[in-house]
């Protein structure tokens, strides 16, 4: 008689059911870990300001397209400019959201980062990240607008 082996595809993270995370073949694979380590939020050696600039630039650059191509003024001459203004407004709204999150999440007494933690997950780092996000967002929108203006 052959014994039936029971293989758990989904198990508690590090066999601790109280962590609140499940280990799956996707979340524990080396491919996923290497992919996430390449994202600006988790890349080693970046300051919180540079993380924010990098993430903001990408968001600003890619958010312009839907406003220009899918907005209500898409068939007019001012579609690029209205998309530019709309994207700037959305970057400002996202930055206000980041500021509110940082105000609620991080207390002012928690100035130093815990050892081994990501450097923007404290009060000072979060505000630097938010400053970088708005600068990068404006830069990304501006670059995308200039490219649309000259190449379309």
Which of 100, 88, 101, 95 shows the shortest CA–CA distance to 143? 88
Looking at the chain, the whole-number percentage of residues with pLDDT higher than 70 is: 86
Task: For 64-98, write each residue's pLDDT tens digit.
Answer: 999 999 999 988 999 999 999 999 999 999 999 99
Q: Please report, in angstroms and rounded to a whole number, the separation of the first and last CA atoms in the chain.
A: 72
Whether residue 32 has pLDDT greater than 90: no
Specify the pLDDT at position 3: 62
Cα(137)–Cα(11) distance, rounded to whole angstroms? 39
Whether residue 111 has pLDDT greater than 60: no
Greater pLDDT, 117 or 60: 60
Domains (ranges, CATH) in the chain?
1-38 (no CATH), 45-151 (1.20.1240.10)
């Amino acid at each position: 008689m052959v014994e039936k082996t029971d293989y758990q595809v989904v198990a508690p993270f590090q066999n601790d059911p109280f962590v609140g995370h499940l280990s799956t073949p996707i979340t524990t694979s080396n491919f996923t870990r290497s992919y996430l380590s390449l994202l600006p939020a988790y890349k080693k050696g970046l300051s919180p300001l540079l993380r924010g600039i990098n993430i903001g630039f990408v968001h600003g650059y890619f958010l312009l397209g839907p406003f220009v191509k899918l907005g209500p003024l898409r068939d007019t001459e001012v579609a690029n400019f209205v998309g530019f203004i709309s994207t700037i407004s959305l970057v400002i709204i996202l930055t206000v959201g980041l500021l509110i999150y940082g105000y609620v999440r991080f207390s002012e007494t928690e100035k130093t980062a815990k050892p081994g933690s990501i450097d923007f997950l404290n009060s000072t780092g979060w505000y630097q990240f938010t400053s970088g996000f708005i600068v990068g967002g404006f830069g990304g929108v501006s670059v995308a607008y200039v490219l649309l203006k000259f190449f379309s």
